[in-house]
Structure 1
């Protein structure tokens, strides 16, 4: 990184030696000709000077999805940061369980790099309409719907998991089961990009959705 290719240097010096561009300035703009000549002389001097030390190329950071489509994730509501502590402590759902289903894996560009080769990937999660005291059985969750969104009418709530494996572990997301036969994501689910999981306030995000559903009288609350 930061190296001038020999062929480029040779071609640039050849062009400067020809002076074609400089002659055009002499004819079309005599007043600025001396200034332009000085700029080109300085450029020639720089090209002929030793190059600065080689710079290290920073490692390209690529975010990869942690889960597979069909994975069922368990989360026990608790605080992991000071930002969540008060909300969790006041909540009646502290230490209760909720479930998420991985329904899609989205891709996004990395700058101007070709997306076929370089891209970020993240998981799209749907939250089940359920909160309980204990880990449920498959016979139970097979019959549950997903929690409706408080922000988008007639849509389920989506969470986008951009986090690293370390952050998901810190949050406390656990794999309960993998279902390779789970339906493939819809085109819309693959394009979901909003409501990204913030590992510092994930518990608060979950509690907001539960509180909204509870106020609407539609929450499947099995903690009562």
Structure 2
């Protein structure tokens, strides 16, 4: 059954379709206009047996919830449901998949709920100041497995960005303490290790290009300094942290202090556009901020990612 899992939104395609529809609907676009736009945007996957059903099922489910399910969308979704049901394997996962499909089928065949009104945008601006540092203690099973239990991630705001609909979210560095003690001065803070969040290949250093003036854009970016690590990659250390409301920010955070003059990461590559900085949620399905950053620390700082294997040196 390809990319389909036991839950409809356990994949990026379905989540993107759902989020895009909700955004455009709440922006006041008509259902037909949104549907036409999404169908055109995802035209390249319509002949893919793995991806096409994810599009139609997510779109149908989302439209049903809003009370605006279009007949053509319903027809396509039901067709894919019947096809996917016939392909389910006789296993525990297959049984879960079939049950999920049957539940969606029953929903789409049931009377529509009342049409929802577009939601009024509620904008949140994170109150953290540039230089603010917050501590997050590692207490998960993954932290125990990796020998990091009791240590702290130190989260420092260094910039900010806009997130849908117009939330102001922090761009942060994350450091990890050497032990279970918190820093009390900028000197102690400087001793903690920066967690590398991602990397860029050297040949991609100019991307994305301004295609209205590509030659000039390359010339301008060529004047910047690009320092590679010992593997030839440009290390990234920033993350966009989805503080989209006070409610989502963990109460366990400890304010450490404001260190705007702290030493920055060595050889850091800062993406030319903020959209290319990785995004981190406090919780997204089974993944948490803690689990994601532990994985990044192990993959990059401890060089466990395959790109750091000897053959890639």
Shorter-chain TM range is: 0.5 to 0.7
What's 2:135 paired with?
A: 74
Aligned residues: 146
Given candidates 281, 293, 299, the residue that maps to 1:197 is 281
Change (3 A) 1:150 1:179: closer
What's 2:197 paired with?
A: 149
With structure 1 as the length reference, what TM-score do the two structures score? Answer: 0.52
What's 1:64 paired with?
A: 125
Residue 191 of structure 1 and its aligned partner are, at CA, apart by 5.0
Contact 2:124–2:168 at 8 Å: present in 1 too? yes
Task: Say which SS state the counterpart of residue 122 (structure 1) adopts.
Answer: strand
Residue 99 of structure 1 and its aligned partner are, at CA, apart by 1.1
Task: Say which SS state the counterpart of residue 133 (structure 1) adopts.
Answer: coil
The 5 Å alignment of 1:167-186 reads 167-170=248-251, 172-179=252-259
Which one has a larger percent helix, Structure 1 or Structure 2? 2
Q: Distance in 2 between matches of 1:58 and 1:149?
A: 34
Alpha carbon RMSD of aligned pairs, Å?
3.3
With structure 2 as the length reference, what TM-score do the two structures score? Answer: 0.39
The unaligned stretches of length 5 or more in structure 1 are 1-54, 80-85, 111-118, 218-224
Residue 126 of structure 1 and its aligned partner are, at CA, apart by 0.7
Task: Say which SS state the counterpart of residue 188 (structure 2) adopts.
Answer: helix
The unaligned stretches of length 5 or more in structure 2 are 1-115, 201-232, 264-269, 305-313
Task: Say which SS state the counterpart of residue 120 (structure 2) adopts.
Answer: coil
Q: Distance in 1 between matches of 2:164 and 2:248?
A: 22
Given candidates 99, 107, 122, the residue that maps to 2:169 is 122
Q: Distance in 1 between matches of 2:272 and 2:240?
A: 13
What's 1:137 paired with?
A: 184
Given candidates 93, 97, 101, the residue that maps to 2:156 is 101
Change (3 A) 1:144 1:57: closer
What per-residue deviation string (whole Å, max 9, x for no partner) do you get for residues 133-177 of structure 1? Answer: 21123222235563333444323332222132222124x332211
Task: Say which SS state the counterpart of residue 256 (structure 2) adopts.
Answer: strand
Q: Distance in 2 between matches of 1:90 and 1:109?
A: 36
What's 1:4 paired with?
A: none
Change (3 A) 1:140 1:76: same
Which structure has the bigger radius of gyration? 1
Q: Distance in 2 between matches of 1:151 and 1:144?
A: 20
Task: Say which SS state the counterpart of residue 99 (structure 1) adopts.
Answer: strand
Contact 1:126–1:156 at 8 Å: present in 2 too? no
What's 1:41 paired with?
A: none
Contact 1:74–1:98 at 8 Å: present in 2 too? yes
Task: Say which SS state the counterpart of residue 61 (structure 1) adopts.
Answer: coil
What per-residue deviation string (whole Å, max 9, x for no partner) do you get for residues 98-134 of structure 1? Answer: 2121111112463xxxxxxxx2211111112544221
Task: Say which SS state the counterpart of residue 135 (structure 2) adopts.
Answer: strand
